[in-house]
Each structure stands twice: as C-alpha cells, then as structure tokens.
C-alpha cells in the first residue's frame, strides 16, 4: 500500500508498506527535505539498521535498548545527549528502526528534541506494522504505568518492508496480528471474517496474507485516527483489549509481551462485560486467536482483580475514577462500557 493520510494542523503521514519497499527509503526520505538523518534502532535489527544508515548516509547510528525496557524517560535524555554530541540539528530527521517500543520512544524524542524534527518510522515487527507505527501516539512508561509520559505527533513517513519480518520469531510474529483482530472485532465485520479465512496463512507466514492483514490494519486504524486524532471519541475504539491488557502488562512486570496481553485483555474484557458481549461473540474471538496460535487465557498468577483494578484506574483512559473499555456487542460493532471491580471479579471468577 502507498497512501498519504492528512490530519489537522496540516500534518500528514505517508504510509508505504510492501515487500521490497526498502529500496525506496532513500528517495522517500529525500522527499522530506531534511538536512540529514540519524538512525535509531533496536539491536535485534542491527544489520538492517547498518544497511539503511549506509543508504541514507546517516550522520549517526544510535542503538537503543531492545524491547519494552527502551521506553524510559531517562532513555529520551540519553538519546538527546547523543544527538547533541553528534551535531544533530533542527533539520535532522530521526529514522526509527524496530518494533513498537522503538517507535514509541523515538516518536517522543522527535517531538521534544529541538521542539520537533522530522520523523521516519521503519517498523520491523508485525505489531508495529499493524498498529504501533501508525497514528502518532508515542511515549514511555513511568513508575510502573504504561505510556504515562508521551504526546500525539504524526510521523512524516512510515515505510515498512514485510521482508524485514524474516528474523522475527514465530510467537511475536503471530501476536502482532492481535492488533488487527482487535480493530476488526469492534469496527469491521467483513475484515473479521477475512481474518478468520487468512489465519492459517498468517500462521504459516505467507507473504500475501501478511500484506493483506497489515493493509486492513492500516486502513481501519487510519480512518479512525483521521476522524479523531486526539481520542475524543471514536479513537477510543482502537483501545479494545487494552484496558485490562495494559493492566495485565504492568502487573506482569515485563514478563509478557504487549501482543500477548492484548489477546488476554480482549477475552477478559468480553468476560467482564458478559451482560453486553454475547457468548458466541467471545467464542468467535477466542477461536480466531486460537487459529493464530495466540494464547488468550490469563495465567493464574495474574488473575488478581484488586491489583488489576488499581492499575486500570491509573491508566490514561481513566477519568475521575471511571474506567472505560470498548467491547464488541456484535462482531464489528463496539460499544463503550465501564470497567468496575465487580466486572473484573466476573472476568476472573
């Protein structure tokens, strides 16, 4: 796919995702008219980052810690010092190469470094291609809370090459598709049915299926973000599975990946709102996650309604003690309900 999405305040994002798109990166970055670039990357994709840095004649190449541990405020400060040391300026574009942790962190850095510089995201996980690199939310974790510090700022370019996924292990590869399942479950019935058809091919990592699922994810997400960039209403639908999912992720203290937690969160939220979500809707969701080979049962050690409630109340989505979550009342038709200690007890009862 290749599309330019426009937002308020004249910002826009070009999203280009295809097999072989890597070759187009230098030209696409040139079109941003930046003075030069600094590459920031996950160590897991160091050879790719070195190749792209050469192609872009990067001023510097900065590795950042891999995974969720990258999302720390002191990491933003450390990288800002590195940019200063390497002579980066207001005209320097930052190119982030890695999964959602790297794009969340570098998105924040690009927003605050010199009050904002051009930002290019090169997502290297299915989760980042299906969700994290899109929509301009960025941030870091703080005091045990997910994404507590951050802002909304659209990247100028998202360029992803599905060939970059070749080195991603199977489990995170499959879990990334939970973010497209989540969207389809509350937004688009036809996409959900198509995902049910594609699931065996996604599990087998077949490129046409992977590209189709990512394209569906981009289309669903960007339609919502363009209509409600700052999450005043419709964008909340994209948080399905994330109310309990984020609480589980915080409670697990880094022992579970984001995609695993969202899968568990999706099913736990359906159970918590069993008065709104028909059992057959939950069963269809469980079956789709199962055919993607993604576990959705919460480990016994994390079935702690009191601890999860305390974490959910601290989440950004909570307002004045009320904790909204979006659940499917039918496939493709989400509705906002409120989480409560009683509902949490019901989810894990």
Q: Which residues bind ligand NAD (CB under 6 A)?
A: 42, 44-45, 66-68, 71, 98-102, 104, 124-125, 127-128, 131-132, 135, 137-138, 164-165, 167-168, 172, 257-259
8 Å CB contact between 165 and 210: yes
8 Å CB contact between 273 and 243: no
Q: Shortest approach of ligand NAD to residue 340 CB, angstroms?
A: 24
**Structural tokens at position 238:** 């994209």
Q: Shortest approach of ligand NAD to residue 287 CB, angstroms?
A: 23
Residue among 231, 249, 269, 282 flagged as catalytic: 231
Q: Which is nearer to ligand NAD, 92 or 125 (CB)?
A: 125
8 Å CB contact between 234 and 227: yes
8 Å CB contact between 210 and 1: no
What backbone phi and psi angles, to 5 degrees, belong to 277? -100, 110
Q: Which is nearer to ligand NAD, 59 or 242 (CB)?
A: 242
Q: Shortest approach of ligand NAD to residue 262 CB, angstroms?
A: 8
Residue among 59, 71, 235, 343 flagged as catalytic: 235
Q: Which is nearer to ligand NAD, 59 or 127 (CB)?
A: 127
Residue among 239, 249, 282, 343 flagged as catalytic: 239
CB closest to ligand NAD, residue no:
100
Residue in 153, 146, 151 with CA at minimum distance from that of residue 121: 153
Residue among 59, 71, 137, 174 flagged as catalytic: 137
Residue in 228, 198, 234 with CA at minimum distance from that of residue 216: 198
Q: Is 258 a catalytic residue?
A: yes
Q: Which is nearer to ligand NAD, 13 or 125 (CB)?
A: 125
Q: Is 115 a catalytic residue?
A: yes
Q: Is 86 a catalytic residue?
A: no
Distance CA 264, CA 311 (A): 16
Q: Which is nearer to ligand NAD, 175 or 188 (CB)?
A: 175
Q: Shortest approach of ligand NAD to residue 293 CB, angstroms?
A: 16
Distance CA 25, CA 157 (A): 10
Q: Is 242 a catalytic residue?
A: yes
What backbone phi and psi angles, to 5 degrees, belong to 227? -80, -25
Q: Shortest approach of ligand NAD to residue 153 CB, angstroms?
A: 11
Q: Shortest approach of ligand NAD to residue 105 CB, angstroms?
A: 9
Q: Which is nearer to ligand NAD, 176 or 343 (CB)?
A: 176
Q: Is 138 a catalytic residue?
A: no
Contacts 24+ apart (CB under 8 A), 341-345: 341/305, 341/306, 341/309, 343/272, 343/273, 344/244, 344/272, 344/305, 344/308, 344/309, 344/312, 345/305
Residue among 41, 59, 236, 242 flagged as catalytic: 242
Residue among 75, 179, 249, 269 flagged as catalytic: 179
Residue 130 CB contacts under 8 Å (≥ 6 apart), including other chains? 176, 177, 179, 180, 213, 214, 217, 218
Is residue 163 classed exposed, middle or buried when 0-12, 13-18 and 19+ CB atoms within 10 A define those classes? middle
Known catalytic residues are 115, 137, 179, 221, 231, 235, 239, 242, 246, 258
């Amino acid at each position: 796919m290749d599309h330019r999405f426009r937002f308020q305040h004249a910002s826009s994002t070009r999203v280009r995702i295809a097999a072989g798109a890597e070759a187009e990166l230098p030209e696409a970055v040139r079109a941003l008219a930046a003075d030069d670039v600094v590459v920031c990357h996950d160590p897991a994709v160091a050879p790719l980052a070195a190749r792209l840095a050469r192609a872009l004649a990067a001023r510097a190449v900065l590795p950042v810690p891999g995974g969720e541990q990258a999302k720390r405020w002191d990491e933003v400060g450390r990288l800002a010092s590195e940019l200063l040391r390497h002579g980066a300026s207001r005209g320097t574009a930052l190119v982030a190469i890695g999964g959602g942790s790297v794009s969340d962190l570098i998105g924040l850095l690009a927003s605050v470094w010199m009050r904002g510089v051009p930002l290019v995201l090169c997502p290297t996980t299915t989760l980042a291609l299906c969700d994290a690199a899109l929509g301009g939310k960025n941030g870091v974790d703080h005091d045990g809370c997910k994404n507590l510090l951050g802002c909304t700022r659209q990247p100028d370019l998202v360029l992803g090459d599905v060939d970059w996924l070749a080195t991603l292990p199977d489990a995170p590869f499959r879990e990334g598709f939970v973010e497209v399942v989540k969207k389809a479950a509350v937004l688009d019935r036809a996409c959900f049915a198509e995902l049910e058809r594609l699931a065996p091919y996604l599990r087998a990592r077949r490129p046409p299926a992977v590209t189709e699922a990512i394209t569906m994810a981009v289309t669903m997400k960007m339609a919502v973000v363009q209509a409600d960039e700052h999450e005043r209403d419709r964008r909340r639908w994209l948080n399905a599975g994330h109310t309990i999912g984020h609480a589980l992720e915080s409670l697990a203290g880094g022992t579970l990946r984001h995609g695993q937690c969202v899968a568990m969160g999706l099913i736990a939220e359906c159970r918590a709102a069993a008065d709104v979500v028909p059992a057959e809707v939950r069963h269809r969701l469980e079956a789709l996650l199962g055919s993607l080979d993604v576990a959705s049962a919460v480990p016994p050690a994390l079935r702690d309604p009191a601890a999860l409630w305390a974490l959910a109340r601290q989440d950004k989505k909570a307002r004045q003690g009320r904790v909204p979550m979006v659940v499917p009342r039918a496939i493709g038709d989400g509705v906002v309900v409120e989480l409560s200690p009683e509902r949490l007890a019901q989810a894990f009862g």
